[in-house]
Amino acid sequence: MQTLLLGLLAALLPALSLAGPVDINTADAMTLATELNGVGLSRAEAIIEYRNLNGSFATAEQLLEVKGIGPQVLDMNRMNIEISTSQ
C-alpha cells in the first residue's frame, strides 16, 4: 500500500510542479494553454478575445462567460488562476 501511494505521489509531482499560477488578465494564449488544465490553444484564444472585448477579469468565475469554459474547467484550475488588479 505504501509503495502504491509513493508511486502515485511520484507520478503527480512533475505535473504539479509544472503548473504555476497564471494571471488571466496578462497571460498570452500560449501561456494560458500551457498552464491551465483543459485549456488548449483554441480556448486560450477565446479567453484573450473575451478579455479584449470586455476588459480585465474581476473574478475567476467570469471565465464561465467564455465559450468553451465550463464549471469543470474552472474547478480544475481555480487554485492556479491569479487575477491582477491593474494592467
**CATH number of the domain within which 39 lies:** 1.10.150.280
Dist. CA 35–CA 81, nearest whole Å: 9
Dist. CA 85–CA 41, nearest whole Å: 25
Which among 67, 13, 79 has a CA at the least distance from the CA of 39?
Answer: 67
Specify the pLDDT at position 12.
Answer: 57
Position 70 in a domain: yes
Q: How many distinct structural domains can be found in the chain?
A: 1
Position 47 in a domain: yes
**pLDDT band (50, 70, 90) for residue 17:** very low
Does residue 76 sit in helix, strand or coil? Answer: helix
Position 1 in a domain: no
Which among 65, 66, 62, 68 has a CA at the least distance from the CA of 81?
Answer: 62
Range of the domain at 65: 21-82
**What integer is the mean pLDDT of 70-82?**
97
Specify the pLDDT at position 13.
Answer: 52
Q: Round to the nearest angstrom and report the end-to-end CA distance of the chain.
A: 49
Dist. CA 33–CA 86, nearest whole Å: 22
The model carries a pTM of 0.76
Position 68 in a domain: yes
Position 13 in a domain: no
Position 77 in a domain: yes
